[in-house]
Amino acid sequence: MKKFDVLVIGSGAGLEVASFAAEKGLSVALVEEGRLGGTCLNRGCIPSKMLIHSADVAETIKSSQKFGIKSKIEGIDFTSIVKRVSEVVDTDSSGIEQAVRKSGNPVLYKVRSKFIGPKQMQAGNEQIEADKVFIVGGTRPSTPPVPGLEDTPYLDSTKALRLEKQPEHLVIIGGGYIAAELAHFFGALGTKITILVRGERMLDNEDDEIADWFTKEFSKKHKILFKTETEAVSYQDNRFIIKLKNDGGKLESDQLLVATGRTPNTDILDVKTTGVDVDDKGYIKVNDYLETNVDGIWAFGDIVGILPFRHTANDQVGFAIGNAFTDKKVPFDPFAIGHAVFSSPQVGGVGKTEQELKKEGISYKVGKAELKDTGMGGALQENGLAKVITDETGKKILGVHIVGPQASILIHEAIVAMKGNGTVDAITQSVYIHPALPEWLQRAFFDIG
């Protein structure tokens, strides 16, 4: 069995741990089955946002007439759009792999691997072990137990980002952020979209009021069937047949996208063999210092299920390195880590939702503002809702939630304020440029009762 000082599983944010340890002169093994760079670079946030920008451009052209500009889209070169994005992503990933292999440390094991002991792995034909282990193995698209689904060539989010032929009709099972973003991408470029949602609205993890607003606006652009579940799926003559439960009839389409969530890769890695505790969904349990219950094993990123975004993992990596390689341990604090949905309209959020505060029995105050009531709202000829939540004094910011144009950018105003002194004054006492978009958020803070 080959011995290393450090073993890192996952080449997304985990690559930073591997690089740090190697620079310190430690011997490092890096285990990565797929392309280097992790989910974000290869099959997540980077390619999806590049593709979505094409959809944003198309939507801008389609709406130009309301600004007195007559324009039209003469054609969509869908294959070219996807090919460009794939080439950029693959070039970046290949560059990372070449750099790792050239350095010689870390040693790359690009093969499916699994644990065979607390700090031991079977990596292809080799067995490796280390004193310090970092599990940053990520997640993958989950597959619901729908009869017949596994026997069809359905799309998950990974395959959808590489699809080179534009669908005529895309049925999407799921109502979360992946469903919303990919519906926007394909729909804005001309694909007919039908979304099957189990509940009564989309983006159910967002603040209720924001989710309702988004659902109403998104329903104007795409067909959404609520309280709808799939009973069975079949595939014949290049067509999907989706049978709906409760006598809901059936749908036919040339493509089917399943976007019903993600599942941690702990089963593939056989993490249970390490003795590391996982929760009932398979996510690794860690303490505030990103330590598992097994001494010398740390975990972070999507595989621990704490705000599973790449920027969360980017933040966690510094804590993991500091806590593992220095004498001073610092707890990871997920406070004020925001998120965004790059759909149309966009959604941005940070902190507590109103329903969470009600469930926790915490007193609060709310302020709201609609974009249409601001100067920039008139210029953009668009509307949206900004909602801010404070403690019962109206001074400490507990959460901010936005739906509307540039929400993914605007939410950073709140993130900076919350990470700073965390008070409403940071925004209400600032002098905003008039009539810039951030005035919209400021008005919501002025509205706090």
Just list the catalytic residues.
434
The pair of structure tokens assigned to 38 is 């992790």
Contacts of 200 (CB under 8 A, 6+ apart): 226, 227
Q: Which residue has the tokens 């500091």?
A: 322
Distance from C-alpha of 379 to C-alpha of 448, rounded to nearest angstrom:
26
Helix (H) or strand (E) holding 367, with range, is: strand 364-370
Q: Residue 410: helix, strand or coil by DSSP? A: helix
Contacts of 156 (CB under 8 A, 6+ apart): 141, 143, 257, 258, 259
Q: Which residue has the tokens 């993890």?
A: 205
> Bridge-partner residues for 114, per DSSP?
122
How far are the Cα atoms of 71, 137, 351, 402, 408 from residue 208, in angstroms, in the given order? 37, 32, 14, 12, 18
Residue 442, class by beta-carbon neighbours within 10 Å (0-12 exposed, 13-18 middle, 19+ buried)?
Answer: buried
Q: Which residue has the tokens 């049925």?
A: 171
* DSSP per-residue string spanning 29-61: EEE-SS-TTHHHHHHSHHHHHHHHHHHHHHHHH
Radius of gyration from C-alpha coordinates of the chain: 23
